[in-house]
Structure 1
Amino acid sequence: MPLPKSLRQPIRRASTSSNSSRRNVCRQCNNLDPRGYASTVYHAESKKGPITSLTLVIDALSLERNKLPNEGGCRFCGVLIQALDAFFDGWRGNRGRVTVDLKEKGGIIVGVEGDGWKGELVEIYAGSASRAPWPTLGIGHHIPLNSGSDDTFNFARRCIQDCLTNPKHVACKTARKALNGTPKRLLDVGRITAPIRLIDAQGKTFQYATLSHCWGTGPILTTTKSNWKKLSSNIPFDALPPLFQDAVIITRQLGLRYIWIDSLCIIQDSTRDWETESSKMGSIYESSYITISATGSSNGGTRCLLDRRKPIKIDYQNTTRREFALRARKTTDHLPDIKTVEPAKPMGPLMARAWALQEHVLSTRILHYTTTELLFECKTSYRCECSPTRKSYPTTPALIPKAIAKQSKDHHALYDAWQRIVELYTKRELTVQNDKLPALSGIASKIKEATGSSYLAGLWKEHLASDLLWSSTPTSAGGEIRVLDAYRAPSFSWASLNTPISYYSPDEDERSTFNSIIKLLSSAIALSGLNPLGTVFDGAMVVRGPCISAVLSSQPKDGNWEYTLLIKGTSAIRISHDCMLVRHDMTDNGSKELEHTVRRAAHGDILAAFKAPVLCLSVARYEGWLSGLVLGRSERINGAWERLGTFSVGMEGFGKAEEKDVRLV
């Protein structure tokens, strides 16, 4: 019988220790013990009794003033100070905070607040299998000092072999191997004594690796119309960029003969070849034996087989002056979270690149080469060198297979997965801005195959209301978001802008009340290439739904711009604007009279306060609320409307709305 829900949740307990037993406990660091603190969390679901965790936030200046242990200072604070001095240059004198995450029988994870140390963490752990210096400290697994060591390659081979032979890895074994998704070319890395060369792989079956990597801005070896015959004969090892050399070494070490590298296996100055092969990328990565992810490399000139920073020894003596083996090493917050079903979070420059997301999502097996350790993911499980135990953790490659498996019971599962992927994707960077839709087309292909829905430049016909209600969430680093200089997608698509976006995520109770109140009358997406889910040069849809006219007001506030809907008989409604907006005066082709409207601001437009008429289209109703789109007249297409943002309002404010047919472009 499962535990009651109340017992499955982490609970907080106040310390029951007597004053006498706590008098030697440091109020600042709690002796680096997760137990017995006011905010200690007891995880009641543990089979071996309560396992505790604790997060401490310590003022950096207060910690710095701690006396040395031989001067009567806290020896546990001294452990933190030694780790901070070794890995966080400049932390002394910093007015920020030090975060200390403690977990019973685990390592101690330390971070420092500040942009200079963003994402940087240090793990403190017992360095010996003998008795730990205090009962709650865990023993750290050995991580080799070079990512090209025999130990690391053996770890990689074990992970792959376990995936291939484990009967529970059903999703990994059923990955699609369709011939129309196989690569046209492969790089034959042969044996050390044989030439490296491009081969024709079309229509044939090969066991191959794939490389996921950052191109960077520097020169990189590519295949072109003029050199592909030469590369088909012989590519000297020394002619390969350092990262490609490492990829060849890894491929050979794993017992493979072939590897697919996009810059070499696609003719880069052939539009037709690029469109054909890039449209197959999802299948190419899914069908590969292993994806080598150069996660920690910023470009082809940096290696992924490299030395790692050596752990440091930390001096520690207990009250009897016995010395213990205590270590500290650089780490990242990369482990999966089973409770929140969050997959592993590999850290490195590659994780900021848009193309790499679908390579990560669609690969069957991945080796992530980070600066600190090797991580392995497949469609079923996760392992890393610091946590090598085989467990069924949530993984990114498992996202779509799990959604497909749930689809029969929950028809929202795949669309929810798509929206979560789009949220992640829009935070990433593209070198070629017109790749916005092609770089996600492999994932779109999987969703289309499973649902049968029509694809509307980033939206799905069978999930239209929810997909239309995306919201722009510009970051502070993004500055003022404006419309692109060149057309890339219709305004109703998130692909029309360069901004992170988010969707409304209802819980199960809220989902039951979410109802679309629009009807799609027609839609048309004009493709500009061979990829049916790729680049578009035009798009439109006609929807019927409740509409009401309003005035949009723009005012500066706290250094930003605020946009508010003014509707007769209702209070002012603040909208979520897609980007900066400006008033626009245009001539109606029928009457030739000057008409006021609002449009997205372009680069060079001067922002100013304004009041101008707009149209509000209600899209969905849920729990007494309406959500919809704020629209301005299109200057490009006569009689059409372009999206400006979204709104949410109580239904009483839209009592006078009228059904209209609205053309969105």
Structure 2
Amino acid sequence: MLCKICKEGLEGIWDPSRSSRLALLKDYLENEDEDDGAGNEPDNTHGSGATDSPARNGAFDYVYGHHKDRDSFLASMQEGCAMCNRFQPGQGLDAGDNPKIQELGYFSVFYLMIHPEAAVTKPVMMVDVENSCGGFDFVPYGDPKYDQNINFDFGQSNYDSKAWSIVEKWMSTCLNSHPQCKLIEAPSSYRPTRLLKIDKPGTFRIVLGTDCPPALQYVTLSHCWGAKPVERLLCLLKSTAEDLGREQSVDNLPKTFRDAVDIARHFDVDYLWIDRLCIFQDSAEEWRREAATMQDVYRNALFSIAALGAKDDEGGCFFERDPAKTAPTVVRFKLTEDGEEKAFRFGLEEGWSWRLSFEHEPLVQRSWVVQERLLTPRTLHFGSKQLFWECREMACCEMHPQSVYCYRDYDVEEDEDEAAEEAGQDRHHPCLWKQLLDAPDRRHGRSPYEQLFVDWNMIVNLYASRKLSVPGDKLVALSGLANDMKARLQQMKPGPHRYLAGLWEETLMDTLVWNVRDPAIRAPEYRAPSWSWACLDGDINLLGGCTQEEDTISLSSPISVEMSHPGEEDTGQVTAGTLTLKGPCGLAEIGQEAGWGVTELNILSVVGEDGRVFHGKDMVRASVYFDTLDDITNQVSLVLVCAHHYDEGEWYVHGLALNRVEENTYRRVGMASCSFKDKESAEAFGAAFPRKELQIV
């Protein structure tokens, strides 16, 4: 959708009473071709591919008012305007005031150009916001070439007949026509420990899995618990078990659970698994036992219901909506004053704008749901604006009922491989789990075995920044995936395959130099050693360090890793972890901010125990990315872990920034990164310091 200001502004360009003409475009742009004072060439495209001079065509000669103030602009972003959301904080909205726009009395302005290279006439809306600008193509509406796989017909709710028709087609297609989904169909004998049994329309009870028929289908529910204390929630407790085991009205359930019952019955399924009602919430022993088998519960379900838009158990799965604020926006205006009015659609509403109604939904922010989505064969998301579907062969939404991966340049021919990738198909190594709607672009390993670790790192990147109601669940909420991963590794290469608090022993030295993108927060109570990303809450990058490529040099070697766990499972909670390394060590003096973030500080010099000094000027760039604001200090110990080729001749040396806890024992506080002009310089830096054996806790 486009906000009212974007839509009405475009449709009113030929009527000054509807769209405010602020200035002649030639006057507004008169200084844009000048050198910027830094020797840079002017950017004539404004990021769009549009011509740098406007068509001399009446309404195209003017600059128009867009949003009057910042609050109005942010409100449109919050509402989901696909145009305004292209300017995210840190990418335009925090760039500082623009006096030129302020003089016109607006926070943002727009003007129009014609795309010079398009096969058909496509207007481009140029938007200037503060010191950022962008050009956005419109495409003709009604042409199958542009509107294939786009649904414009939305109903008044996400559960009306139009919505159910799409859902039923997704389900039928998956169950009957997806070979990859059929490969993972559940064995008929599996039953969870407990299930919610829908006895007849309007009643339910909690039953033991062993009391259920040997062959049954069940669905699972992924939901937000909400902020209410556990004692005020309907849960399976020792005190409620007897009552929940008796047949009673579905009306006794909170709305989200009632809606889930309706969805299950819509597909003629009589059993439902809900964590709060199927696991004792006042038994730590049972919770650990059930968490260790969570992969089986989700993998064997027919599908999972995701209460995407609900903040708590009363939010529900079903939502009323305004179709005009959900469906793609059709804008009608003339390209010439005497011309025919034509209908256009914002190009980026295909293949991109669906994210605006998905990525900010409450359930997506929760840590547990990452595992639940990946393990379940198919997931049906009930969002506040539209429905979404995930399985191994389809990722869809109501706006794009065939595939959300459909954005393309209509003026450029795609080859077969690129077209397959756009369609969400992968011609490389198979995934252990299905591809998530909001997953980052997949990186590819050199072998199926290596691909497992590449995919794991991507999952951690997605998972780490999600929120937990119980901070101690950081590793528990990932344990089902870890168990799944370990089983597949064992199939491919029999061996111990040790899991080390979110990292894997086989790739430990590659992933040990993870970093945080923004200041993280250390867990209030111990849940992982400092060398594991799981000790933090924040945006973690597990992919920015060393790799297993041939142009990587190992500088440190692991001596041992000792882990302690509260139970027999090594994929859940951790009580202690000590990593012993041997590698080049030095003492680094830290300077001021390096400019990329408040926790990235310059390295002024590095001194070895033998007194040898490397100054910052000896390196192209040298800095420490501290894990949290509290970790920042003016001196750290460094252990250099690896060096790898980056681009052209440039090489990076990565290491760990440490604080000493006691003699020869350290705690990680950040990741060090030093760049050099060539391989020889990087190797010389790694060889300059004496090798030392140390422990990191």
Same fold (TM over 0.5): yes
Q: How does 1:251-330 map to 2 (within 5 A)?
A: 251-311=264-324, 316=332
Q: Which residue in 2 is equivalent to 1:643? A: 668
In the aligned structure 1, how far is the partner of 2:319 from the partner of 2:121? Answer: 27
Q: How does 1:90-489 map to 2 (within 5 A)?
A: 95-96=107-108, 126=141, 140-166=151-177, 169-175=178-184, 177=186, 182-193=191-202, 195-202=203-210, 204-218=214-228, 219-311=232-324, 316=332, 347-389=360-402, 393-394=423-424, 399-401=431-433, 409-452=447-490, 453-474=497-518, 481-489=520-528
Cα displacement (A) at 1:470: 0.5
Q: How does 1:485-496 map to 2 (within 5 A)?
A: 485-496=524-535
Cα displacement (A) at 1:461: 0.5
In the aligned structure 1, how far is the partner of 2:693 from the partner of 2:672? Answer: 19
In the aligned structure 2, how far is the partner of 1:104 from the partner of 1:344? Answer: 31
Matched, 1:513 2:522: no
Cα distance change of structure 1 residues 151 and 77 upon mapping to structure 2, 3 Å threshold: farther
Matched, 1:627 2:654: yes
Cα displacement (A) at 1:439: 0.8
Amino acid at match of 2:644: Y
Amino acid at match of 1:469: V
SS at match of 2:199: coil
Q: Deviations over 1:532-555 (max 9, x none)?
A: 311111111223x32223144365
Cα displacement (A) at 1:450: 1.9
CA contact (8 A) 2:560 2:579 kept: yes
Cα distance change of structure 1 residues 255 and 317 upon mapping to structure 2, 3 Å threshold: same
Q: Structure 1 residues 294-303 or 557-566, which shifts more?
A: 557-566
SS at match of 1:632: strand
Amino acid at match of 1:651: E
Q: Deviations over 1:206-225 (max 9, x none)?
A: 21111111111135321111
Cα displacement (A) at 1:386: 1.7
Cα displacement (A) at 1:190: 3.5
Cα displacement (A) at 1:234: 2.5
SS at match of 2:583: strand
Amino acid at match of 2:321: R
Amino acid at match of 1:388: P
Cα displacement (A) at 1:157: 1.6
> Which of the numbers 592, 606, 612 marks the counterpart of 1:566?
606
Cα displacement (A) at 1:356: 0.8
In the aligned structure 1, how far is the partner of 2:511 from the partner of 2:598? Answer: 27
In the aligned structure 2, how far is the partner of 1:109 from the partner of 1:374? Answer: 30
In the aligned structure 1, how far is the partner of 2:235 from the partner of 2:111? Answer: 45
CA contact (8 A) 1:576 1:645 kept: yes
Amino acid at match of 2:691: E
SS at match of 2:449: coil
Cα displacement (A) at 1:77: 10
In the aligned structure 2, how far is the partner of 1:85 from the partner of 1:469? Answer: 37
Cα displacement (A) at 1:315: 8.0
Cα displacement (A) at 1:484: 3.2
CA contact (8 A) 1:366 1:377 kept: yes
Cα distance change of structure 1 residues 575 and 241 upon mapping to structure 2, 3 Å threshold: same
In the aligned structure 1, how far is the partner of 2:128 from the partner of 2:572? Answer: 41
Matched, 1:578 2:627: yes
Cα distance change of structure 1 residues 507 and 616 upon mapping to structure 2, 3 Å threshold: closer
In the aligned structure 2, how far is the partner of 1:494 from the partner of 1:566? Answer: 25
In the aligned structure 2, how far is the partner of 1:55 from the partner of 1:162? Answer: 39
Cα distance change of structure 1 residues 626 and 136 upon mapping to structure 2, 3 Å threshold: closer
Q: Which residue in 2 is equivalent to 1:591? A: none
Cα distance change of structure 1 residues 207 and 553 upon mapping to structure 2, 3 Å threshold: same
In the aligned structure 1, how far is the partner of 2:592 from the partner of 2:266? Answer: 62
Cα displacement (A) at 1:557: 7.8
In the aligned structure 1, how far is the partner of 2:138 from the partner of 2:306? Answer: 24
Matched, 1:550 2:561: no
Amino acid at match of 1:170: P
Cα displacement (A) at 1:188: 1.2
Q: Which residue in 2 is equivalent to 1:19? A: none
Cα displacement (A) at 1:266: 1.2
CA contact (8 A) 2:319 2:385 kept: no
CA contact (8 A) 2:638 2:658 kept: yes
Q: Which residue in 1 is equivalent to 2:19? A: none
SS at match of 1:400: coil
Q: Which residue in 2 is equivalent to 1:662? A: 694
Amino acid at match of 1:394: G
Q: Which residue in 2 is equivalent to 1:618? A: 640
Q: Deviations over 1:579-636 (max 9, x none)?
A: 235xxxxxxxxxxxxxxxxxx47xxxxxxx644xx4322222323543221222225x
SS at match of 1:304: coil
In the aligned structure 2, how far is the partner of 1:295 from the partner of 1:467? Answer: 32
TM-score (norm 1): 0.70
Cα displacement (A) at 1:518: 3.3
Cα displacement (A) at 1:180: 10
Cα displacement (A) at 1:298: 1.6
Cα distance change of structure 1 residues 314 and 655 upon mapping to structure 2, 3 Å threshold: closer
Cα displacement (A) at 1:507: 11
CA contact (8 A) 2:513 2:546 kept: no
Cα displacement (A) at 1:405: 14
CA contact (8 A) 1:617 1:630 kept: yes
Q: Deviations over 1:163-189 (max 9, x none)?
A: 1111xx333122274799742111112
Q: Structure 1 residues 97-106 or 292-301, which shifts more?
A: 97-106
Cα distance change of structure 1 residues 465 and 500 upon mapping to structure 2, 3 Å threshold: same
Q: Which residue in 1 is equivalent to 2:7? A: none
Amino acid at match of 1:644: V
Percent identity for Structure 1 against Structure 2: 25
SS at match of 1:570: strand
Cα displacement (A) at 1:196: 0.7
Cα displacement (A) at 1:154: 2.3
Which runs of no fewer than 5 residues in structure 1 stay unpaired?
Answer: 1-25, 29-37, 42-53, 63-68, 116-120, 338-342, 582-599, 602-608
TM-score (norm 2): 0.67
Which runs of no fewer than 5 residues in structure 2 stay unpaired?
Answer: 1-23, 27-43, 85-103, 131-135, 406-419, 436-441, 491-496, 617-621, 646-650, 675-681
Amino acid at match of 1:147: N
Q: Deviations over 1:223-280 (max 9, x none)?
A: 1111012111134222211111111111111221111111111111111221112222
In the aligned structure 1, how far is the partner of 2:379 from the partner of 2:127? Answer: 31
In the aligned structure 1, how far is the partner of 2:110 from the partner of 2:300? Answer: 45
In the aligned structure 1, how far is the partner of 2:402 from the partner of 2:564? Answer: 50
SS at match of 2:323: coil
Q: Deviations over 1:37-67 (max 9, x none)?
A: x8699xxxxxxxxxxxx68899xxx9xxxxx
In the aligned structure 2, how far is the partner of 1:100 from the partner of 1:499? Answer: 41
Q: Structure 1 residues 92-101 or 414-423, which shifts more?
A: 92-101
